[in-house]
Amino acid sequence: MTAAMYLLLLVALVCANLPFVSVRWFGIKRLPEKRFAHHLPELLAGFAFVALLAYLLEAQGGSVHRQHWQFYVAVACLYLVFAFPGFVLRYFWRGRNRE
């Protein structure tokens, strides 16, 4: 693996967990209570950013290969797996420690 791939994986891991760690919506507006409906647009925006970065890195390395829908479903599931530690921290760990 090249350094660009490691960088892409690190950015994907950070972008997937950032919505669950931050109390601000998109890092701008502070919300009194951030619900799951607030996390979904942030997750989608992070996924779009990571996908764009991956496309740019692939284009820089050579020709971009055409992908089918199965590839995008697999990548979206991998992104959700990357988001699981932040989800657990937000909804399971912090919720249990509040009581």
Strands (E) located in 8-97: 24-25, 29-30
Q: Are 57 and 4 in contact (CB under 8 A)?
A: yes
Q: The pTM is what?
A: 0.82
Domain layout of the chain by residue ranges: 3-98
In the numeric block, the tokens 């109390």 are attached to 23
SS3 63: coil
Q: Give pLDDT, residue 98.
A: 53
**Sites in the chain below the pLDDT cut of 70:** 1, 94-99
